[in-house]
Amino acid sequence: MAITYTSKEQIEVYRFGLPATIAVPLFAVVAQSFLPHWIPFFTIFDLPLLIVIFFAVARRNPVAGLLTGAAIGLLQDSLTHQPIGLYGIAMTVVGYGASSLGVKLDVENAGSRFLVTLFFFAIHEVIYFSVARGMIRLGLHWSWSHELTSAFANAALAVLLFHLLDRLKQRT
Amino acid sequence: MESVLTRYRNVTILVAVLFAQILGLAIQVKRTTDNESSSLIRIWALDLVTPLERGIVDAQMGIAGIWRNYFYLRGVRAENRQLKQQIERLQMEQVRLSQDAEQARRLQVLLGFKEQFVSQTIAAQVIGSSGSEQSRSIFIDKGTLDELAPDMAVITAEGVVGKVLHAYKSTSEVLLINDQTSGVGSILEQSRLQGVLRGTVSGDLLLDKVMNDEQVQPGERVLTSGGDQIFPKGLLIGTVRKSSRGSEAFLDVRVKPAADLGRLEEVLVITQKEDRTPEAAEAGPIRAVDILADRLPSVPVKPLSDKPATTNGTAAPNPLAKSTSSANTATKLKPKAPAPQTVFDAPPDTAAGEQAPPTEAPQTHATPDSEPAKPETPPQ
């Protein structure tokens, strides 16, 4: 019997096999670390964040969502030179929020996925910058144009990526 | 109480996880040095991620090597011819630079200047990056096992890249100069204005602390000043892209990095540098008459060849910023002095380290029997 990681919600709840649960986030973190080396503009994307949103929305379990977000966020933090926890906190909130939203809304079509990603990208950035500036006193500069571009780019990528990742879903 | 916790189970767990992370952050902020627990998390994460990245880089290099060495040989002959021409041009350039460097060295001896020399470098392969715009750093495949340590300067043949931030066993994290938390002591080559080079959110380089009433021309080269005690003085950082009035008392000077920070493949880590005054032996014998002659105005000497190194009237792109810097210094101090016509031996110590230091002035030594020819100066 395959070990799975699933929620207890009743309808439209998906689960993922253990290989997908581990390999997909790991692949996202590695790709996020590796691809900007070859495609410099790739730093505009945030693959780990998209993975957190995808898993959270599909599982529709807030606890699973926030734990996934915390784990991926902390892993991402470990690869930066900033204190560990900045991405962790932001992704924890995103994971919790996305899974809570997934319980109430249909987030299976491309349009809603685009909007959900746009919304949670903004939440992620606001939390990240708030913690970095307010708590760590990092002199990070906020640029509206840059954040908006990133948000739309990530939302567009999310639609394609989520479509591919749908194949990993297993119905409960 | 139990029912409340059960009812708000999700929120309770969320608050607990957030609280734990905020506590962890607070501990890290309180401690100035990287504490053991956070280092451990980083080491585990790197142990998880870097082998995969290393594998991808190795595979990519293997495939690229096969392609380059066996399939893609078109145009090699033409390229070879071009490279030979380039070598000839560079050899002539080297002779000129050697002379300039020699002049500068003599002056340094006279003035008792101490200079930082790059004495050993280690080549490293870039295997990944932080992947975040808020943290512009890269990972290289050398670590403490290769005697790397934090705060070592990292460069390429083109220019400065950054400094080693964390050195792990077999990998190191390098903070790029365009990171927002980075700062490099810098000096403008011509105007000799000093400032601090910082990164911006968009990955640009900004030369800070240059007063608004100063003039900075686009195209001027920016070198390391050596003031930060990390980068030896005179390394090329980049060129001024644009300069405008800033919001405060300082100019907004944007700098284009000389090294392509977005596409780094191999870098050099400066593992050893030494402070020393150029020795008199290096400068060759100096006679009072030479010094006197150097100070007198003279007719410029005709170049060595009809097609000197600076063909087309412009200097070839030269990563040896220090040499040029020295040359410029020398030129400034002795504007009318001709270069002595001396033949120099190859330096005995240029092979120090794994790579020849790209930033060091050519360490040429005058042969014992080759005294610098006296420049012919007309009597005043």
The ipTM estimated for the assembled molecules is: 0.84
What pLDDT shows up at residue B17?
93
Domain B123-273: which CATH number of 3.40.50.10170, 2.40.10.340, 3.30.750.80, 3.40.50.720: 2.40.10.340
Q: Which backbone phi and psi does A58 adopt, to 5 degrees? A: -70, -40
Is A2 part of a structural domain of the chain?
no
Task: Enter the tokens of residue A154.
Answer: 């990530």
Binary contact (A79, B46; C-beta < 8 A): yes
Binary contact (A132, B26; C-beta < 8 A): no
Asked if A128 and B134 touch (Cβ cutoff 8 Å), the reply is yes
Lowest mean pLDDT among B30-34, B268-272, B315-319: B315-319
CA distance A170 to chain B (A): 24
Sign of the CA dihedral with B291 first, then B297, B344, and B117 last: positive
Amino acid at A98: A
Enclosing domain of residue A27: 17-171
**In chain B, where the domains are located:** 2-71, 81-113+277-366, 123-273
CA distance A1 to chain B (A): 27
Cα angle for residues B136, B142, B146 (degrees, 5° grid): 140
Which of A67, A85, A92 shows the shortest C-beta gap to B24? A85
Lowest mean pLDDT among A81-95, B45-59, B272-286, B355-369: B355-369
Mutate to test the interface with A, among B129, B137, B175 (most CBs of A within 10 A): B129
Count of alpha carbons within 13 angstroms of residue B140, beta-carbon side: 34
With a cut of 70, say whether residue B283 has pLDDT above it. no
What pLDDT shows up at residue A36?
83
pLDDT band (50, 70, 90) for residue B314: very low
Is A51 part of a structural domain of the chain?
yes
What pLDDT shows up at residue B115?
61
Amino acid at B172: S
Mean pLDDT, rounded, for B120-126: 87
**Measured distance CA(A169)–CA(B5) in Å, rounded:** 31
Binary contact (B165, A40; C-beta < 8 A): no
Cα angle for residues B95, B100, B101 (degrees, 5° grid): 95
Q: Which residues sit opposite B244 in a β-bridge?
A: B252
CA distance A6 to chain B (A): 15
Query: How far are the Cα atoms of A70, B61, B124, B296, B357 from residue B265, in angstroms, in the given order?
Result: 32, 10, 9, 49, 18
CA distance A108 to chain B (A): 24
Element containing residue B243 per DSSP (H, E): strand B236-245
Asked if B170 and B143 touch (Cβ cutoff 8 Å), the reply is yes
pTM over 0.95: no
B3 Cβ neighbours under 8 A, 6+ residues apart = none
Low-confidence ranges of chain A (pLDDT < 50): 1-9
Binary contact (B21, A92; C-beta < 8 A): yes
Partner A, chain B 142-171, Cβ-Cβ below 8 Å: 165-166
Which of A96, A100, A136 shows the shortest C-beta gap to B29? A136
Is A39 part of a structural domain of the chain?
yes
Binary contact (A141, B175; C-beta < 8 A): no
Radius of gyration for the alpha carbons in chain B, expressed in angstroms and rounded: 26
pLDDT tens digits, one per residue of B322-339: 444 433 333 333 333 344
pLDDT tens digits, one per residue of A108-119: 788 889 999 999
Radius of gyration for the alpha carbons in chain A, expressed in angstroms and rounded: 15
pLDDT band (50, 70, 90) for residue B360: very low
Query: 3-state SS of chain A?
Result: CCCEECCCCCCCCEEEEHHHHHHHHHHHHHHHHHHHHHCHHHHHCCHHHHHHHHHHHHHCCHHHHHHHHHHHHHHHHHCCCCCCCHHHHHHHHHHHHHHHHHHHCCCCCHHHHHHHHHHHHHHHHHHHHHHHHHCCCCCCCCCHHHHHHHHHHHHHHHHHHHHHHHHHCEEC
Is A115 part of a structural domain of the chain?
yes
Q: Which 3 state secondary structure label does DSSP give B328?
A: helix
Is B16 near chain A, with CB under 8 Å? no
pLDDT tens digits, one per residue of B173-227: 999 998 888 889 999 888 888 889 988 877 888 888 888 788 888 888 999 988 8
What pLDDT shows up at residue B43?
84
CB pairs under 8 A between A and B: 151
**Measured distance CA(A131)–CA(A129) in Å, rounded:** 6
Is B201 near chain A, with CB under 8 Å? yes
pLDDT tens digits, one per residue of B212-249: 788 888 888 999 988 888 888 888 899 998 888 877 77
Mutate to test the interface with A, among B8, B12, B17, B19 (most CBs of A within 10 A): B17
Binary contact (A67, B29; C-beta < 8 A): no
- CATH number, domain containing residue A41: 1.10.1760
Lowest mean pLDDT among A88-92, B154-158, B165-169, B296-300: B296-300
Question: Which residue of chain B is at minimal alpha-carbon distance from A36?
Answer: B131
Asked if B204 and B254 touch (Cβ cutoff 8 Å), the reply is yes
Question: Which residue of chain B is at minimal alpha-carbon distance from A25?
Answer: B49
Mean pLDDT of chain B: 72
Beta strands in B91-202 (DSSP E): 115-129, 137-140, 153-155, 160-167, 172-176, 184-188, 194-199
Partner A, chain B 174-193, Cβ-Cβ below 8 Å: 175, 179-181
Is A4 part of a structural domain of the chain?
no
Asked if B204 and B252 touch (Cβ cutoff 8 Å), the reply is no
Binary contact (B137, A81; C-beta < 8 A): yes
With a cut of 50, say whether residue B24 has pLDDT above it. yes
Which residue did the predictor score with more confidence, B13 or A1? B13
Binary contact (A83, B52; C-beta < 8 A): no
Task: Enter the tokens of residue A134.
Answer: 């307010």
Number of structural domains in chain A: 1
Amino acid at B365: H
Mean pLDDT, rounded, for B76-82: 84
With a cut of 80, say whether residue B295 has pLDDT above it. no
Amino acid at B315: A
Which residue did the predictor score with more confidence, A145 or B378? A145
